[in-house]
Amino acid sequence: MLGNTFGRMFRVTACGESYGGGLGIIIDGMPAGIRITEDDIQPDLDRRRPGRSEIDSPRREKDRVQIFAGIGQDGHTTGAPLGLIIYNVDTEAIHIQEYRDYRWLMRPGHAEFTYYVKYGEYADWCGAGRASGRETAGRVAAGGVAKKILQREGIEVIAYVKQLADIQCPEMGFEEIKKGLKENPSPINCPHKETAEKMMQCTLKAKEEGDTVGGILEFIAHGVPPGLGEPVFDKMEATMSMGLMSIPAVKAVEFGLGFGFATTKGSESNDIMYYDDQGRVRFRTNYGGGFLGGVSCGDDIVGRVCVKPTSTISIKQETINVKEHKNVILSPITRRDPTICGRVVPVVEAMVAICVVDHLMMARGYEAVQRVEKEYTI
């Protein structure tokens, strides 16, 4: 299996399956001299962890991260690869047997058919294996490390559920969103209290029906300097899109005005620049989502991802048995989330943070060798 490493200089390599022993992460390119502990990483893992509320999968995973490599005796990173591991603890035989009973039935909406095409009878059929959303716990752990690096740069990354089904969160500013998420904690991860309550009720209704719902998550990277992104194939807008689209259940990504550009004119959608009273370049709007030519412009990076409804539902569906080559009816099995939108929030934050750190390292490395005198520094 190829494709389990993300990044050019801040390289995150992940392994592990839904019902295997655990999830492993190696971060190559970890800067030396950063003081980091498991407690710095754990809060985001707790936000992603299942079994915390009535709208989560009942799977009981502790998701406790352990740092096993790359930390010196004084608690600082040494510059060696940083090693993280999260052990799976809720892998009971009864649940494994459920998957075994349905091994040759391809669950609609899941990756089982395409993995069967690629890996044949050796494809991991238990809990979707590597294709399970369980693997995102490793990403979140790596994202916690990336956020620790970004703290030194004054860069913050947040995400939240902007829309669930047809319920939309009102427009809110960056500080207002941060405050709302802190003061109104909810498993749905929406900063607007009244809207979060409506989203919860919508999710519980879908749960009662045996169905699931999807939504839209918005993310903001605040304090990102201008000049990050390597034209043309490694523009930060492009690699960030790749990282976000690699998250299970994410089916679309847009930045700034996104698909709204299709119905506007250039005179309406160009971000106008101006000098403020301190002589700094500012933008009157942010339709571009913090990018010009795919390179960061110094404004907030703002984008959204669309998360599809959880594929596992408690409703009978038509499917195929690849062993017997016949059409069959799939009865509901195993544990599920009526929505995964709230739990995907820290995963989105993680991929954005990892991408920003990677581009920050690339840009500053290139600048150091290029030595071109410029007005703006990265």
pLDDT of residue 378: 76
Residue 377 maps to a domain: no
User: How would you classify the pairing of strands 326-330 and 281-283?
Assistant: unpaired
Give the bridge partners for 12, in sequence order. 6, 27
User: What's the rounded Cα separation, in Å, for the pair 243 and 357?
Assistant: 13
User: Is residue 292 scored above 80 in pLDDT?
Assistant: yes
Residue 9 maps to a domain: yes
Q: How confident is the model at residue 40 (pLDDT cuts 50, 70, 90)?
A: very high
Domain that holds residue 84: 5-370
68-79 pLDDT, tens digit per residue, is 999 999 999 999
pLDDT of residue 118: 96
Q: What domain count does the chain have?
A: 1
Range 174-197 average pLDDT: 96
Percent of the chain at pLDDT exceeding 90: 89
CATH code where residue 233 lies: 3.60.150.10
pLDDT of residue 135: 97
Residue 375 maps to a domain: no
pTM listed for this prediction: 0.96
User: How would you classify the pairing of strands 215-222 and 301-307?
Assistant: antiparallel
Residue 62 maps to a domain: yes
Residue 312 maps to a domain: yes
Q: How confident is the model at residue 371 (pLDDT cuts 50, 70, 90)?
A: confident
Q: How confident is the model at residue 229 (pLDDT cuts 50, 70, 90)?
A: very high
The 8 Å CB, 24+ separation contacts for 314-322 are: 314/210, 314/211, 315/210, 315/211, 317/108, 318/108, 319/105, 319/106, 319/107, 319/108, 320/105, 320/106, 320/113, 321/104, 321/105, 322/104, 322/106, 322/113, 322/116
Residue 376 maps to a domain: no
pLDDT of residue 336: 81
User: Is residue 32 scored above 90 in pLDDT?
Assistant: yes
Q: How confident is the model at residue 178 (pLDDT cuts 50, 70, 90)?
A: very high
Residue 326 maps to a domain: yes
Helix (H) / strand (E) element for 44: namely: helix 38-48
pLDDT of residue 149: 98
Whether residue 181 contacts residue 189, with contact meaning beta carbons closer than 8 Å, is answered with: yes
Residue 267 maps to a domain: yes
pLDDT of residue 120: 95
What's the one-letter identity of residue 102?
Y
